[in-house]
Amino acid sequence: MPTPAKGPRLGGGAAHERLMLANLAAQLFEHKQITTTVHKAKRLRPYAERLVTFAKRGDLASRRRVQAAIASRSRTNKSIVFELFENIAPVMANRDGGYTRITKIGNRKGDNAPMAVISLVMEPVSPKQAVVAEAEKAAEKAAPATEAPAEETVEAQVEETTEAQVEETPETEAKAEETKEA
């Protein structure tokens, strides 16, 4: 478990920060994106991504951990947990991480605080990335099997080229002499 941050914690104590992150995560899962300060968005990202990881597991223990992390006494939060497990987790099933995206949108008008939109990445993983990942795996499997024969073939090609150059040398000299005479 990561060590807690030292010093001020989002304008309050550690308990207040936990409650604030739980509420922000609940709103993020309910609305799919929220607008908040950059600092809160950066603190929310690992918290929300951890909850999505639990939701991807889908078992009862994970559901209870998420329910405990998002204030368990409210009925609306139970519907948010249901939304997370039934709608969001299946969309994120093929994604290995990076479930959220933070986009900076400028400063707030009243106090000039830097603002950001944190949103869930609901797009499926692009097929190009999947193809590249499969190609890398295939290359890794094929590399150990082809390394030794590849060295032998390179040596054979070098020998063939040197023999061909030796054979061509007298012919090219004769052609050069004929062009000089003409």
Query: DSSP secondary structure string, 15-55?
Result: HHHHHHHHHHHHHHHHHSEEEEEHHHHHHHHHHHHHHHHHH
CB 11 within 8 A of CB 43: no
**Domain extent listing, the chain:** 14-141
pTM for this prediction = 0.66
User: Which architecture, in CATH terms, is 14-141?
Assistant: Alpha-Beta Complex (3.90)
Residue the block writes with tokens 């830097």: 114
Q: Which amino acid is at 179?
A: T
pLDDT at position 78: 83
Instruction: Tally Cβ neighbours within 10 Å of residue 36.
Output: 20
CB 5 within 8 A of CB 28: no
pLDDT at position 4: 64
Beta strands across the sheet bearing 100-107: 33-37, 114-120, 100-107
Q: What is the pLDDT along the chain (182 residues), one digit of tens a residue?
A: 567 667 677 878 888 888 899 999 999 999 999 999 999 999 999 999 999 999 999 999 999 999 999 876 677 778 899 999 999 999 999 888 899 999 999 999 999 999 999 999 988 877 776 677 778 888 888 877 555 555 555 555 555 555 555 455 556 566 656 666 65
